[in-house]
Structure 1
Amino acid sequence: MTPLRRGRPDDGGDRRARIVASATRLFADEGFDAVSLRQVARDAGVDPALVHHYFSGKDELFAASVELPADPDDVLAGMASLTAQDRGTALLSAIARLWEGPQRHALAAFVRGSLGSRARTAAVREVFRARVMPRVLEGLEGPREELELRATLAATQVMGFILLRYVVQLEPLASLPREQAIALVAPTLQHYLTGELADPDTGPGR
């Protein structure tokens, strides 16, 4: 067990920063689900109660550890109430509204910074795996392995849309009206979520 640090008491900002630094590393190395708040406290050398003092729970600590400009729970509110066939359009619409709103510069900076950092890249992966895709897949039926594959395929479409339209700003996609861009991309995203997936044993070349 890591002992609590001795010596002159540090201020609250330093303790909070230490907690966030430990959480960032642990989330990147082990994944969101495997990390506990008690584990973060041990790594940071603080009492677990202090983690609860600064953060209401693991979701809030995770958001702080990756400096998320927006809370995925807020962005995706109401997703579970939609029919399965409406999820693709709804997801892209929520993302487009977010990226075309006042937080667009912070979001772009977050993504660009993530691309150059192993820890931040891992954190972005965890955001999608642990907080975004479970919301999108909630209520969909199928074997766990299939749903995980669908989530991964959907993430490729979402990240490609974000990177090319908003970060790289590749034309003509970057200049398309929002609704047109969504209408063009959403069917592929929807197929990943609910369409028939290719069987490697019966696909082309077999």
Structure 2
Amino acid sequence: MSARKDAGPEKGARPGRRRGSAGTRPLILEAARELFAERGFDGTSLRAVARTAGVDPAMVHHFFAGKEALFVEAMEFPVDPARLVPQLLEGPREEIGERVVRTILGLWEDAEMRSRVLAILRSVTAGEQGAAMLREFMTAALLDPVVERLGVPPERVAMAAAQMLGMVMMRFVLEVEPVVRATEEELVELLAPTFQRYLG
């Protein structure tokens, strides 16, 4: 969707920017990074991003499926919860514990993905505002959809996430023995029943 070339800028738009131009997408990403850093995830709306970028709100929806998708790309987040959640949940309910463990282990075994996630975590958790932004995003994009899809209490999903984060820290960040030398099958055998109890 393109605006007329003779249309004036939106109220609050940055000067010199035209809606529907070839550089619209980068402008949207730039504005999103600025607003997410300033207002956090919850405090940033797609309409505010459009206004800051100087584009029609429809252009933001044209390029991005929603605020979560915009955040993933703007912050260069290597894992898209919109793809991860179905991967975790689609399949037999009685196998969800094993599926969660194998999926997360597989993601973190990728050295490039791991380094990018760790860099983002160090950056955003260095201050209270960054930590709040990541918490808001993960709640809206990952935890809430799991709660909705599975119909389990939020505290159970949160505890499952906490358990997984602990395992990831012990194995891939701190490299604590014997967690770091355990095989995938050993970790699945130990952890899958716990996740099944939380999520099954």
State the TM-score, normalized to the length of structure 2: 0.74
The 1:157/1:48 distance shift into structure 2, 3 A limit, reads same
Within the candidate set 57, 68, 76, 1:67 is matched to 76
DSSP-derived class of the 2:86 partner: coil
Sort the Cα spacing of 1:189 and 1:80 in 2 relative to 1 into closer, same or farther, 3 A: closer
Shift of 1:36: 3.4
| Residue 189 (structure 1) aligned with residue 198 (structure 2) | no
CA distance 1:29–1:71, shift in 2 (3 Å): closer
In 2, Cα distance between equivalents of 1:94 and 1:120: 26
Q: Which residue of 2 aligns with 1:174?
A: 180
Give the corresponding residue for 1:165: 171
Instruction: Tell me how large the CA RMSD over aligned residues is.
Output: 3.0
Letter in 2 for 1:92: V
Contact 1:80 1:135 in 2 (8 A): no
The SS at the match of 1:154 is helix
Task: Structure 1 unaligned segments of length 5 or more: list them.
Answer: 195-206
Q: What is the TM-score of this pair, normalised by structure 1? A: 0.72
Does 2:32 match 1:19?
yes
Q: Which runs of 5+ in 2 are unaligned?
A: 1-9
Match of 1:150 in 2: 156
Alignment partner of 1:113 is 2:126: no
Cα 1:27/1:82, change in 2 over 3 Å:
farther
Share of identical aligned residues, percent?
32
Equivalent residues of 1:37, 1:58 under 8 A apart: yes
SS at match of 2:150: coil
> Cα 1:128–1:122, aligned 2, differ >3 Å: closer, same or farther?
same
